[in-house]
Structure 1
């Protein structure tokens, strides 16, 4: 009798709650995809012979990227490899995630591509998939303690480094500037890596007094509303004094900016971000956000599709030519073959780059207070 992923994850989730009560932070998430019904389409021409590939994306609440970019780009990339994509979104629900995986495995998918809501739920699904002989590709987020054969993402330590450097650049003329950090979910390994990269830059500046860390808080589930509430609490506790905010993505940055507007500080306090969303780019052009990090998601989707096509054919040698890097999983004490792509820093000076590459439309960005800046930058 086939063991249910849903049942397995339920047990794993209970254990995770017990561990969390003991102060343990496991790893797993960063930004969201597709409609609640998911999508499936006939495969296009290619070498995949129409083999089914299951894709499970994590949520849509914290970031526009999963629905706006990852889902359509993965669909296009997988079809180009001659594969039949079945794409669903867990909407941040670990039980739904496991149920989707159960269904996909019963549909005899040949490969699973997963961006799990949490690392624990992802690792649990991977154990069941392994028992059924279905290879797994971790997409965007490495599931610590999991058994995925491959991992596709951006260099997330580099992402954090770019965020930290942007903050440092924005405050370079303000000795002792007070900083609040609003970080990603503690259950997301990406958030851990972002933090690691940030600290490469800002930790020495905190140590020598160039910057002063007021407080740093991780936001459960990358919840933007919660992020805004936490930031406001930290701001009021510091008597309304703040010089810069290190926000882990554009969604959290937007929540921070809403609070800054309430206190008449928006545009006076540099805020970092990530994902180069339309909202984030608009905030940069209007002077309310200092920076974001652009991650060309089509490259990530293409790499995942290439790996999936190789695995469908049983060619690990071909897959290894795509995944030329490794990522260490400290929980599983193993190195995972990886594709680690290069992120790009974005400030007001190069917003046009993201639009020129077709990831965001000028009409989505050049509205309201950003319109004049778009005109000046030649963004049309």
Structure 2
């Protein structure tokens, strides 16, 4: 990562003075029933449909970190199945995991898994999504309200560039069971609601997409266009997958490029859409840094140690303060696509292959 491109909100995470022994059941990691266990870290990813990041980035970066530390690991994907999520957790605990890191599918399932792990003396981390009323010892993610603010500001900028007066703005929100989706919406509402209130913008359809399902997002957006008789001037899509679903519908109606669409995750598809002029912007979250922060904590717990993060996040349901590391996101517009490639998050070939070669050359990426 280039210096200054991404910063830790939690200063002192890796400070040597922040490490202390862990003696209780919830943080012992490498002990169970008074008997030393070989450190082993289990990770449950949520799916591979909602975003390319889970298999394309998170798995790779976490595995590399665990291997470099010489700690055994087991990384599995629940593929959006709550029963499978629970079964994987049970299997990992049975097979000797001393630390369990999860990206929950919903807080109910996640909470049950965390409580089961805790009862077996397995240390726990919420990765990317906070499990509401959960018992994880750490939460590692990005500042998700800041992500939403960047999306709201991005859409406002792109609407201003289009020069539309009193534009109608539609929302394609993330999954209603994902607390991150709530935080994203809090962020972009903080930017857009004052514009609705001042009647600078008109609030259009506002719908959540269950399980971040891209196919469902396409159906939902098509219904939005029909409902408004095509009178939508901007789309606040909560991630690149939902954004691409909307863009596919706009292409069918020959409206792509005319209606700004936001995104998140800086996926190759999202970046190509930006280069093509079909997507206004995306939000880049350097997954390598998120994976590093989480793996550092997991490795410490696996070795019976605890690191201080210097930061907490309040669980809105339980009121518990959870030790946290939050990272800083970055807005990506057409001129910034090269930054994501230079950071090694995506390759030039992934973005600039085939028909996108000329667009990349025009953008100075040749």
TM range (shorter): 0.7 to 0.9
Per the alignment, residue 282 of structure 1 pairs with 272
Structure 1 CA distance for aligned equivalents of residues 65 and 194 of structure 2: 42
Cα deviation, residue 299, structure 1: 0.5
SS in structure 2 opposite 1:274? coil
Cα deviation, residue 133, structure 1: 1.2
Structure 2 CA distance for aligned equivalents of residues 324 and 217 of structure 1: 36
What is the aligned counterpart of 1:303 among 273, 278, 293?
Answer: 293
What is the aligned counterpart of 1:111 among 73, 78, 99?
Answer: 99
Per the alignment, residue 350 of structure 1 pairs with 336
Question: Is the counterpart of residue 328 in structure 1 residue 317 in structure 2?
Answer: no
Query: 2:39–2:303: 8 Å Cα contact kept in structure 1?
Result: no
Cα deviation, residue 143, structure 1: 0.4
What is the aligned counterpart of 1:245 among 235, 241, 253?
Answer: 235
Structure 1 CA distance for aligned equivalents of residues 274 and 353 of structure 2: 12
Cα deviation, residue 129, structure 1: 0.8
Structure 2 CA distance for aligned equivalents of residues 301 and 79 of structure 1: 13
- Runs of 5+ consecutive residues of structure 1 not aligned to the other structure: 1-48
1:85-96 matches, within 5 Å, as: 85-96=73-84
Structure 2 CA distance for aligned equivalents of residues 287 and 85 of structure 1: 42
Per the alignment, residue 40 of structure 1 pairs with none
- Runs of 5+ consecutive residues of structure 2 not aligned to the other structure: 1-36
- TM-score between both structures, scaled by the size of structure 1: 0.84
What is the aligned counterpart of 2:348 among 357, 362, 368?
Answer: 362
Structure 2 CA distance for aligned equivalents of residues 223 and 249 of structure 1: 11
Query: 1:114–1:137: 8 Å Cα contact kept in structure 2?
Result: yes
Distance verdict in 2 for CA 1:205–1:64, change over 3 Å: same
Give the root-mean-square deviation of aligned CA atoms.
1.2
Question: Is the counterpart of residue 192 in structure 1 residue 178 in structure 2?
Answer: no
Cα deviation, residue 158, structure 1: 0.4
Query: 2:43–2:101: 8 Å Cα contact kept in structure 1?
Result: yes
Query: 1:83–1:309: 8 Å Cα contact kept in structure 2?
Result: yes
Structure 2 CA distance for aligned equivalents of residues 366 and 294 of structure 1: 18
Query: 1:224–1:251: 8 Å Cα contact kept in structure 2?
Result: yes
Structure 1 CA distance for aligned equivalents of residues 38 and 274 of structure 2: 43
SS in structure 2 opposite 1:171? helix
Cα deviation, residue 190, structure 1: 0.3
1:119-134 matches, within 5 Å, as: 119-134=107-122
Cα deviation, residue 174, structure 1: 2.4
Question: Is the counterpart of residue 61 in structure 1 residue 49 in structure 2?
Answer: yes
SS in structure 2 opposite 1:359? coil
Query: 1:175–1:209: 8 Å Cα contact kept in structure 2?
Result: no
Per the alignment, residue 152 of structure 2 pairs with 164
SS in structure 1 opposite 2:51? coil
1:134-213 matches, within 5 Å, as: 134-172=122-160, 173-213=163-203
Query: 1:81–1:305: 8 Å Cα contact kept in structure 2?
Result: no
Structure 1 CA distance for aligned equivalents of residues 38 and 266 of structure 2: 33
Structure 2 CA distance for aligned equivalents of residues 294 and 152 of structure 1: 16
Structure 2 CA distance for aligned equivalents of residues 258 and 80 of structure 1: 41
Structure 2 CA distance for aligned equivalents of residues 182 and 286 of structure 1: 21
Structure 2 CA distance for aligned equivalents of residues 331 and 78 of structure 1: 32
Cα deviation, residue 366, structure 1: 1.3
